[in-house]
Chains A and B, each alone.
Chain A
């Protein structure tokens, strides 16, 4: 039903209500539609008046819906009135009403009331991140940056993940200020992006750039650039951090892979203890490898070709510079079949080491183990994004390590031009995260807000340098 365009009197409302198919929810449906069509607020008022006159009372849900309409249209005085009424009638409010109130009030000159409301929410439950978001933005808008930073830190201590919007707002509102404490907070945000491997989008990047350039007396200059495979910034000629893990991180990651990915809750789910032992012994005897290949994955690169020929081509290509190769496969590859011809398999086994797992075992886990065991120089080849293995790791710290290691060590197969030959993309030699040397910052960014595949790394960078 479309809500009426002008306020109606009591008789008109009751007539409408009777013509509605289920009169008991008429008011709710009507108010919902008013919010949807953004009806004038007087229409809603006339409906409430009708309800109040006929029932002597207005239900909580109707009040909240009316509040939503007021918030949508930014009617501050009405919001305050509804809040007064709610406070009189109900001992506490629920989160929906609080959300609306905070949102509505933070946008007005009554924004300090939003802060008191936030305190009220804290008494009952943990405020949502959007509650904090509106309060922080309101504080920022009124140049109360200390307050905004306090709220931001409070939010972090409550394990709430801030939206990129809030972070961007903090940069926007502190433009042109010379305040060391504030600067520290903003650098903290950049480090937060680094630690969690978050990439800002274009508009956020622009806010960061503008903030840096606006710091009085520090003379920052920002440039947008693409960084080449070598990892050298074309603007300031600075070499980016490489993607190597430290010794400790590396060992930590290896142990966690064995514990969480290979064994997990039950070793039998992915392999069996005997098989894993056999594999360990096999790897120990032939260490170290330069490249570990997921045989079955690679054999499906070109679906038109016979599987063993695909693998053969890949092995030949990778063995060119005398690298020590390990190919992981399953036992069924050894049975002479149309897809796996014995002669070709024989020939490949001369060029690379092969390990064949049981047909029902998971070879990916072995791939990770063999690569990590061989040392930092060892790379691996698969088209798999390894998301399910990352998910097996129990804490986010290790997951970030895994992603970083994967970026630096996975040789990807490029979508081949023409589909004739296999092409490999070398692993990224530099680490794609926010990084600084004190007088330079390099910040990778995404073109659009929506790009969010975790395995995709941005190619575009913001280079910031301080000129003395």
Chain B
């Protein structure tokens, strides 16, 4: 066909002609008129010897001819259900290169359609897309790992030499037994630590899911610590969102967990004067870790920061509050001062074991602070300014303001 095309071109320099000849004038009367308009710009090209060889509109013919028969069956007008139509749109978005997942379940599609705004829809799709990517990546890595393991096994079986080991191999199950023993001990003698589960109404479904994930992580690191806390989940109602998420994570193990779960409030279980509510909004700063007190952590993830919610809760119940001494020990850089629940757990466990603030605050994410406070404040300020100017190229006034926000006047004067 290409050669025929070239031949024809020698006769008629006008692409419209060649076009109509190839396809039959009857069939393509409609595009004919348009191709005629195009011909002048083709003629311009003819001045160049190079582009003479390239038929610039050849792609249109390919696109129009290739799927003609198929398109006739497709373009039959038929009413689509709204779900199918949504699926169709998503497919087009994917083709256009937007972040859209390849596969969508029926529920996800419904959730997508219930999103209140266009931007909410976009966000949800991006979230699903990223989730899909992570999953795919994980699977790929798993496959690679399996392959490598098989290879090493083959090599090992070739070598065939039994190893002798004086120690009994400690498998995960026996480690688990040791951990469980420790946690069981802590349930009798250990220091209580309360997770307050009364924030469901302030959170979206995804925030609750994130909160539960963080609590699961915290529980895990508590279990593996040398001297675990006795964890209490207070205000946890049956069939609440929290509860459902926990079941999803732990499945059968939920009933065998070595923690105390109750729908009572902590004020009903413990004496009020022993309770301390940990919240970043607290005006009081924690000086030392008190082994006789019972610390309460609010199980709340607030992606849009809601200030004062947990402080309000403590105020309502008339409890003492405390915040971690982040500004006293760390040169804060950016980010909110609320930490995730598992970071909080790491900090508290380390404090409990060592009482060393520096060690404990290692668990604050590195991006949030520039370093530990070990020099007088004004010297630190200078280095911080320098670092930031080099790193971000920001003007010093902006930084000064940020610094002033982070550190009260009293601190800088000392």
Which residues of A line the B interface, CB within 8 A? 6-10, 28, 41-42, 45-46, 48-49, 51-53, 56-61, 64, 77-78, 80-81, 84-85, 87-94, 96-97, 124-126, 265-270, 272, 359-360
Contact = CB atoms under 8 A, between A and B. Distances in A.
A268 B59 contact: no
A99 to B, nearest CB: 11
B41 A42 contact: yes
A91 B95 contact: no
Nearest to A128: B118
Interface stretch (B6-14, B67-75, B184-192, B380-388): B67-75
Contacts of B55: 49
A360 B283 contact: yes
A272 B312 CA distance: 9
Report the 5 A-B pairs with minimum CB-CB distance, sorted nearest first: A268-B312, A52-B59, A94-B92, A60-B95, A52-B62
A49 B315 contact: no
Contact of A81 (B34, B51, B54, B309): B34
A125 B53 contact: no
A124 B62 contact: no
Contacts of A81: 31, 34, 60
Nearest to B313: A268
A9 B50 contact: yes
A85 B38 contact: no
A49 B34 contact: no
A266 B95 CA distance: 47
A10 B51 CA distance: 11
Contacts of B85: 92, 124
B57 interface: yes
B305 interface: no
A102 to B, nearest CB: 16
B63 A52 contact: yes
Contacts of A80: 34
Contact of B89 (A10, A49, A94): A94
7 contacts: A42-B41, A42-B51, A85-B63, A88-B75, A89-B67, A92-B85, A266-B312
Interface range for B: 35 or more
Interface of B: 31, 34, 37-38, 41, 45, 48, 50-51, 53-60, 62-64, 66-68, 71, 74-75, 85, 88-89, 92-93, 95-98, 118, 202, 283, 307-309, 311-313, 315-316
Given A49-B57, A94-B92, 12 more contacts: A7-B45, A42-B56, A46-B56, A52-B58, A60-B92, A84-B31, A91-B88, A92-B92, A94-B95, A94-B98, A124-B85, A126-B118
B71 A88 contact: yes
Nearest to B2: A53
Contact of A268 (B34, B48, B88, B315): B315
Contacts of B34: 77, 80-81
Contact of A89 (B71, B98, B311): B71
Contact of A46 (B54, B74, B307, B308): B54
A6 B311 CA distance: 67
Contact of A8 (B54, B89, B308): B54
A48 B61 CA distance: 11
Contacts of A266: 309, 312, 316
A59 B94 CA distance: 11
A49 B96 contact: no
B45 A64 contact: no
B75 A77 contact: no
Contacts of A48: 59
B283 A58 contact: no
Of A42, A64, A89, A94, the most chain B CB neighbours within 10 A belong to A94
Contacts of B118: 125-126
Nearest to B62: A52
Nearest to B317: A268
Contacts of B54: 7-10, 46, 49
Given A91-B88, A96-B96, A125-B89, A9 B53 contact: yes
A49 B55 CA distance: 8
Contact of B50 (A7, A53, A87, A272): A7
A28 B97 CA distance: 10
A264 to B, nearest CB: 10
Nearest to A97: B96
A269 B59 contact: no
A272 B71 contact: no
Contacts of B88: 91-92
Contact of B315 (A59, A78, A272): A272
